[in-house]
Amino acid sequence: MKLNELTATKLIELLKNKKCSALEIIEDTFDEIEKKEPEIEAFITLTKEAAFENAKRVDKKIASGEKLGSLTGIPIAVKDNICTKDVRTTAASNMLENFVPTYNATVVEKLNAADAIMVGKANLDEFAMGSSCETSAFKRTKNPHNIEYVPGGSSGGSAAAVAANESVLALGSDTGGSVRLPASFCGVVGLRPTYGAVSRYGLLPLASSFDQIGPFGKTVADVELLFNVISGKDLKDSTTMNFKTKNNSDFDVKSLKIGVPEEYFGDFIEEEVKKSVLKMIEFFKHSGAQIKKVNVPHMEYMLPIYYVILTIEAASNLARYDGMCFGLRAKEFKDLEEMYANTREEGFGDEVKRRIILGTFLSSSESGSAYMQRAIAAKNELLRIYNELFESCDILITPTGSAQAFRLGEVCDPIKMYAMDLCTLAPSILGIPAISVPCGKGQNNLPIGTQLIGQRYCEQLLFEAGKFFEKNSL
């Protein structure tokens, strides 16, 4: 087995015991990238030269007995909407094709301090708008389990890189399910943290009230390790706060109260998915957990709530891309107004334009404020419902996606594509943590994920439940 096929926790153990070197890990990783990348297309930009230099630096630290970071020598892919100093950051858009930031995102600074080694910038749906990784301006990432299928989106490149062993860990961003859905489709673990648990400084924004940077790994323990590195208070992001996850070192599955929302198992859930998730629930039941059927009314309002708020915020956030200060500027125009119009026409893809137009309409029409007010009122009602659920349940279990990965080019209807996120929207709207854990495979060798949802800042309980499943379900 090559080193890049191992988990991060195992590699750290080998490095500390000097049974391998960081350089050997990076060599194996780039061997895999050179072999698979022409087919998978997980990366927009590779940072091979810098990765080898950093590996040599880490090996010198190990040899000299210096204090090591908690991710020493571990290869990591970073989604290409997260700013990296002196490394191109495109958001998979023609608008930013040649944009090179002069600063690092806070999460990247934390990775550097932990001695992680970035191997490249991962592909995504343009400006994180999509559920399949097909709206990128540069390439279409394929699912490593079957290259005729999508990896999910928008963080499809990050998930595919981990699944294909082109990286050991990865960072993505999750607005409505963009970490969890690709994790499910690609058979890896992906976490959407509590809103405010991880700094968004340096993340190119889509919808600021939903966006969160989240980790991918091969196991729950790997995701936990990466989360502990990137989380915490950041003075550059006022939404962050210091917090301590609840200590669950004495985790006892028999005291775990699991809610199973019946609305998440309706006819819109593919039968293979339903079967795998129910099997996981049965596992917890046989292990002694208390299983309780619960109800989450008003699920039909999830999509309207999310897309009203998201498109209004997206239209506002993307107004900065006008050709004036940075990014693309149209070459041909008669006046200032035409320069704006031509720049945005040439720079943005169809899905980005669609959401900007919808968001502009919702925020500028005569009844625009009413749309937002109703969306926020409905969001507050959902928050009340979920708070009541968590009075009697520790976690909720649902499918991560309503279906397995679909074929490239199969879903062309934007509404059908938006509906792919239906199972992942509640945690995004409410700002609560959720993790997708692989729970089986269906047709065409395609993975299926189960979503564990918790209360704010209860990531540790999700980790413990996920690790218990991984350890005992085989």
Residues known to be catalytic: 79, 154, 178
- 349, 354, 360, 363: CA torsion to nearest 10: -140
Give the DSSP per-residue string, 1-61. --GGGS-HHHHHHHHHTTSS-HHHHHHHHHHHHHHHHHHH--EEEE-HHHHHHHHHHHHHH
What span, in angstroms and rounded, lies between the C-alpha atoms of 164 and 42?
A: 9
With H, G, I as helix, E, B as strand and everything else as coil, classify residue 68: coil
Written as six digits, the tokens of 68 are 């090591």
Q: Name residues whose C-beta falls within 8 Å of residue 136's C-beta, 6 or more positions apart in sequence.
A: 44, 92, 123, 124, 125, 126
φ and ψ at residue 323, rounded to 5 degrees: 85, 5
Q: Which of 182, 170, 191, 56 is nearest to 120 (CA)?
A: 170
Do β-strands 257-261 and 395-399 pair in parallel, antiparallel, or remain unpaired?
parallel
Do β-strands 189-192 and 117-122 pair in parallel, antiparallel, or remain unpaired?
unpaired
Judge contact between 433 and 459, C-beta under 8 A. yes
Q: Which of 204, 170, 159, 166 is nearest to 48 (CA)?
A: 166
The interaxial angle of helices 302-317 and 368-392, nearest 10 deg, is 130
Q: Which of 82, 9, 40 is nearest to 166 (CA)?
A: 40
